[in-house]
Each structure stands twice: as structure tokens, then as C-alpha cells.
Amino acid sequence: MNRIAVLVVRDSSPIRFAGLDLADRAARVARRSGAKTIQIVDDDQPFASAPPAELLLVLPERVIVEPGLLADLMRRSLVGLEDAAVVVDAEGKSTDILLLSRDAVTRIRLAPRVRLGLRQLAVEAVVGVVTPGSRFCARLRDACDVARVEVEYLRATNGGDGEGFFTKNIRWFSIPLSTRLVRLGITANAVTIASFALAVAAGAAFAVGHYWTGIGGALLYFASMVLDCSDGEVARATVSDSKFGAWLETVTDYLSYFVVLGGIVWGDVRWEGFCKHAISAIVAAAATAAIVLLVGYLRARVASDNPGAFDDALAAELRGGNSMQRFAVWGRHLIKRSFVAHLILFQALIGELPALTEIWAIGSVAALFIVVAVHTHIIRTVKISPLQPAVTV
């Protein structure tokens, strides 16, 4: 017998969330949270054909949750004398997400609706109350709620406190874009490739060496960064994030640094010849390559089965460490593409793009020392659970 099974309860709603049928999305979320047995039923005697299991998790299709909430509920299980547990929202109202024991399922097997079954349990059994905490949970009342909840979901499931000012600034552009992309059925990997294409176009514009092509290149790179944020948002909204997608984003992110740096240096050399900017660029490229190799190794070493979770897990671990590790949390924001995109735009506006090579050289060398200083701590302490497939293959 399965320890936990999931019952997705649909109500034949025509509403779609992030371009997905609600029941299909709920099943993806359940599978991503680690559930192996998932059954989709109508809200008409929904418990009559419930799969046998020690615990039954009931998920109404109109309740939009992130996979982590279901995983937390499964780990919590039932406490003490509880026969069931219900998740309530911030106002204390039931979301109709239930965790039921075998005895509780037997009691309400003939209940005509989920809510009527919950009411029966409230009278006949011990029902615990669970709050979602920081996890996202919201009910869709009608189609008018979809746009608002999509935006709220993306804001809640992004990096949160682990994100710096510059990344949060770009989210103002990426979130509205992502909500439109998912409705068009654009995949996260397609967004990643488009982001890299814009970075290459930016590098080509920088290579011309003129002021206005520098402005154009900076805007192209900023747009590339917006798409770089959107690809993760599209993946999370559609529960389609994957190991391949995470590695594709990682590789294209790393390559974009060299494309942009190379374009800036080429444009400068065309007009000024081999000068101090070119020397700084060599130092910057060498230090950046070393950082890429070391961080890539760390990602593969501690997060090979779930590379997309590496950055958030790393930030959370370093925030609780010693002074060097806490400084690394602050310093890592300065080597992210979001900061670089803002810096490039500023340098382009003042007509000093070549001077970026000196800034880059100093920052990359300092960052390399920081990464070297904390890498052994990362290997020892950062633990990341494997990524569960969201779709059955």
C-alpha cells in the first residue's frame, strides 16, 4: 500500500492558469512534490474511488499552490490524535486541501462533495489546522482572478529575500512578460535561447564601438536579462523546470559574460588600439573563467540532480555562516547578470563602456578570492534534494 496518495478534485472549470488546465497543473504540482500515486476525480462523491494509501492528500484544482507546500504537508503527516488536517489561508478560511488518514477516508467515502466531507469530519473526528506559512496558496474564484494570482504566484516563488536590489528591479519587467509568455505556450527553454540571442546581439553592437551602438547594445543586454529572469518564472508557473533547463540557463549565462566583454573590448580596440582596457579585459576574462569553472564544479558537486535550486540554497546557507560567508552573500549580487546589466547601461549612457573592463577585472578577481574562501564550506554543508519529475514520461 502507498504511504501517500494524492486526489486531485476537479470541477470541470474552463479556467486555465499559466496556460495549463487546472487539473493537469495540480497533478504536476503533486508529482513535483514527490507524490507517486495521483488520481483525478470529479467533485461528485470524490472519495468513493480514492486510491488505497496510509494518507490521502486532497487537492482541489482551483487552489493554486507551490510544490513546496504539498511537500511540507507530506513531511508533517498527521500529528498526535489527528484523523485529518486542513490547510487554512491567512484569514483562517479553509482552502479544502486535506490530509486524511485511512479511517477518515472511510468515514467520508460517500460524502457528495469535498467540503461536505470536511464538515462531517469536523464533527466526528479530530481535524488539525495547518497554515501555509511562507508557501504560496490561493484559490481561484473565477477567470477574473487568474491574472492577479499569476502575478502573485511569480512574485512569491522567485528568489525572495535572497535576491538583490538589481534582480528585484528587473522583476518589474519580467513578471508581466512571463504571464503573457505562458499564455502563448512559450517554453522556458525557448525563452533561455532568446535571452542568449539578445546577449549575442548586444555583443555585436558593442563591437561597433560607437556611442549610440553602445546604448543599443546596453538596452539589448538589459532585455536579455529580463528574459533571463522570465525563463525561470515561466518554468515555475508551468511546473516545467528541469535539470536540462537549469543547465541550459547556466551555460548561456556564463557565455553571455564573455560575449559582452569581448564585444566591448573589440569595439575599443578598433578605435583606440591595444591599450590598458584590453589588458584589463584579459585579467577580467581569466578571473571570470576561473569563477565559472569553480562555481560550475560546485553546482555539479552539490546540486547535480537539481541545479536550479543551487543559488537559493547557497544564499540561505551562507547567510547563517561566519562573517566571510555572510559577506559572500552580499558580494555574489555584484557578479550576477542583473547587476552587470545595470552597470553596462550606466557605463553606456556616460560613454565609458571601455572603463567597464577595469571594473570587471577588479570585481572578478575579488569575487574569485571569495569563492575560493567559501567553496569548501559549500561542499560540506549545502544539501539539495533531487528534482522530482513533474510530468510522467
Task: Encode 184-207 in three state secondary structure.
Answer: CCCCHHHHHHHHHHHHHHHHHHHH
Residues in CB range of 300: below 8 A, 6 or more apart: 307
Calpha distance 125→144 (Å, rounded): 36
- Reported as a single tens digit per residue, the pLDDT across 30-81 is 999 999 899 999 999 999 989 889 999 999 999 999 999 999 999 989 998 9
Low-confidence ranges of the chain (pLDDT < 50): 1, 392-393
pLDDT tens by residue, 79-122: 989 999 999 988 889 999 999 999 999 999 999 999 999 999 99
**Ranges of H-type helices in the chain:** 22-32, 67-76, 102-107, 114-124, 146-157, 165-183, 188-208, 211-237, 243-272, 276-303, 310-319, 323-332, 337-349, 356-381
Three-state DSSP at 390 gives coil
Q: From residue 106, how far is each of 53, 93, 166 by CA, in Å?
A: 12, 25, 53
Beta bridge partner(s), residue 6: 38, 57
Q: Delineate the domains of the chain, giving CATH numbers in brackets.
A: 2-139 (3.90.550.10), 158-381 (1.20.120.1760)
Q: What are phi and psi of 263, to 5 degrees?
A: -65, -45
Cell 518564472 sits at which residue?
233
Q: Which pLDDT score is estimated for 391?
A: 59
pLDDT (0 to 100) of residue 392: 47
Q: Residue 27 to residues 13, 63, 107, 151, 220: CA-CA distances in angstroms?
A: 15, 12, 25, 21, 38
Do residues 224 and 196 lie in contact, with contact meaning Cβ atoms separated by under 8 Å? yes
**Shortest CA distance to 266 belongs to which of 353, 199, 362?**
353
Would you state the torsion angle of the CA atoms of residues 351, 357, 359, 364, taken in this order, to the nearest 10 degrees?
150
Give the torsion sign (CA, 332, 300, 69, 27).
positive
In whole angstroms, give the CA distance from residue 258 to residue 337.
Answer: 12
Closest by CA position to 70, among listed 388, 305, 317? 388
Query: Which of 198, 253, 216, 194 lies closest to 353 in space, CA to CA?
Result: 216
| Whole-number Å distance between alpha carbons of 13 and 318 | 44
Task: Look up residue 64 and give its amino acid.
Answer: I
**C-alpha to C-alpha distance for 138 and 177, rounded to whole angstroms:** 21
